[in-house]
Structure 1
Amino acid sequence: MLAEVVEKLKKTGLQAAPPAHCYAGPGDVACDVCTGRKRKAFKSCLVCLASYCETHLQPHYESPPFKKHKLVKATGNLQEKICSHHDKLLEVYCRTDKQCICLLCVMDEHRGHDTVSAAAERTEKQKQLGATQSKFQQRIQEREKELQDLRQAVQSLKCSAQTAVEDSERIFTELIHSIERKCSEVKELIRDQEKAEVRWAEGLLERLEQEIAELRRRDTELEQLSHTEDHIHFLQSCQSLCAPPGPGDLSSITVSSHVSLEAVSKSVSELKKRLEDVCKVELDKVSESVKEVHTVRTREHFLQDSCQLTLDPNTAYESLCLSEGNREVTRVREIQSYPDHPERFDYWDQVLCREGLSGRCYWEAEWSENGDYGVSIAVSYK
């Protein structure tokens, strides 16, 4: 068939050379009739199994036998449209085997199969494609909306995070300055007390030194008086020298053998510990608050915090069936033959797990077609 067409086209005579852009280049389908430098193919014929440029395609428009041929957009994979068994055009679709076949295949290995014309199947598929495309477009719109919302959430999160960072820095800076001020006040208080005590002690030192000097003077005079031989002078001086210290003299002074400010250091250490405890508790709350911030929460997030639980068969209600290993529970219509137990639920469809949980829990339930339900004992909790 191709040889006859080529021979007929050659008889049409030589044409003027086409512009350079009409020649086939890399990635183009070349005309099967052109000799020498081939031009781009304009159409492909499914009957001739050949591709033609606009010049060599003319017989398909002018010659009655060629007008019956099936023309398609130029393609280089024409052999894919031909049956490999019968070398005929694939124009029937087998719904049983879900493949394109030729007319001879219908009478041969595909006899009795659900077959329709390829054109009819395409029409049906186009309807399905249109419905699927509508779903895709709806899904695209939904996803674009989610994308926009997520971008806004991310932007809002960034702004909020920046504000939180700046506020945290400001508050912690103020807290540091406050602690530094309190530290300065404590140091100043200690120094003031030190100065007062030292000033008072130095006054006492001076008076003690004066009193000691006076007592030594009188002791010297008494020693001299005791050796005098002048009885009159002795009697006249003895009374004044033996008189006790006057009321202006210092009374007895009690001095601590070890003066220390360890109590101050201990108080500051206790304050430090209390501040650390308060900071730990409050910072844990801050950390939990930060972890609670999510722009989006998916099932994967919950699974990260999930844990497996084991059900307690001694508490299961009689219409609850536990799986092997007591990991899952399903509500059934048949009464289960559980032994009597004081902890078993006998009114509500309930069962307890052996492990204890606190906080917020998220359960997943799967419903069956007959209305029964099963719960997978894998929960996420905070």
Structure 2
Amino acid sequence: MSAASCLLTEDRCLCSICLDVFTDPVSTSCGHNFCKACITEHWNQTDQYLCPMCKEVFTTRPQLRVNTFISEMVSQFRQSAQQKASSSSSEQQVSKPGEVPCDVCTGTRLKALKSCLVCLVSYCETHLEPHLTASGLKRHQLINPVENLEDRMCPKHDKLLELFCKTDQTCVCVLCPVLDHKMHKFVPLKEEYDKKKAELEKMEAEIQQMIKRRRLKIQEIEDSVKLSKNDADREIAEGVQVFTYLKVTVERSQAELIRTIEEKQKKTEKQAEDFIKELEQEISELMKRRTEVEQLSHSEDHLHLLQNIPSLSPAPPTKDWTGVRVRPSHEGTVVRAVAQLEETLSKQMKKLLEAELKRVQQYAVDVTLDPDTAHPDLILSDDGKQVHHDDDDIWSFTADNPKRFSQCLCVLGKQSFSSGRFYFEVQVEGKTKWTLGVARESIDRKGKITLRPDDGCWTIWLSNGNEYQAPSVRLSLKSQPQKVGVFVDYEEGLVSFYDVDTADLIFSFTGCCFTEKLLPLFSPGLNDGGKNSAPLIISPVDQTE
């Protein structure tokens, strides 16, 4: 008996109906135990005789007999609990702020150990003793101490709120389904508590991820500002050097240049500051909501959690920051400033243009043509450096493959780039038509495309011998380029075209958003009866001083 008593925990000594220690425990034929009075009253209130635990239905009302074995074990457990309560009575604590005090204590109120859902009173260890020993009180339902016990009782039926009506989204007692919530769907309070607690924990995790993403975005913006500041410092230094050399004649332009760059930098910093403030505000609001959700989700009080979920503050409005960037570019600022003084500063402008070209030529790469991508009517040289259109009407027997252009007269380079900077030069001398630039790897090889950014191409072209164009832009050039340089800064989203002989900047695509590999793109144009028979030639880059 002693060994069995040691193995019998408090949970196993409780009746599943009254949730108190067994009184006159009886067993049903399905093997479950209840207080005799509890199961009797339960069957008196229903039309069916079924086990409250496993729901087994009995055709006739079972004859109940006291389970002497369980009764002896419960008696032993009750004696042990009383001894334990007696030995710890001297260690009771005075109720502190935030703790539930004993409602019976006079004078100094001790900390409550349990709350009775029948008496609607909270008791310290001393005043709880009658509930553990007196036969009339032993059936009362005791729970961990809570305040406002009256709120846990159904105001209509004066019964404990122990069910959740999913139809009305409210807590109800066992009589509500019969009298006031007919045909509604019910679940035990604990089941709905577990569900809502899981939802709150998921919500808390999602909020935490939102905060994390916004903190990362702040770091990204701050890093962009630092890079921008470095670029600005470099450009300012170069501008000061140029305009100092030109002395008085360009002092006004020098000041304007510095002011322009600094204003752009200030605008960038202000934009970044505004973004950061907005992100920090969102984080602050999210942290407040996380605290509220966290406090509620950690509640072990089923009723408190369920009754307070509707009062949660609504989720604060947040912005989708995925596409927000602080990506200023100071590239070419000095070039544009000096260009305004072209008449008097032509020699200095020439030096600046040459320096600019030399700077991008440092990123020269070796590019060769990929024959697997070439349109069947294009002829490539054996070394993969030249391409021209075959004007012959003879049927081409070039094998097709998924990489080959079938409608556009184009060919791609073998080399692809997904980061950093790269530069290459193409000889266009003697041609009346051509297209040059870069394209994303997934460009449509089989259909008709416009060779514009919308189709994954960043190109410029020549048509009719003297009409230079970029998408939606007619270009005005001082002279016809004989050799064109193509420069790409992947991270900066920049694609620039240069006249290599004059070092003039022909055109730039700025603010591009590259998300996949880029490949050089070439189109020599139709042969046009020999008028455009000259090939496009990928030339080595001359980097000598």
Give the structure with the larger strand fraction: 2
Give the structure with the larger helix fraction: 1
Normalised by the length of structure 1, the TM-score is 0.40
Normalised by the length of structure 2, the TM-score is 0.30
* Greater RCO (CA < 8 Å, at least 6 residues apart): 2
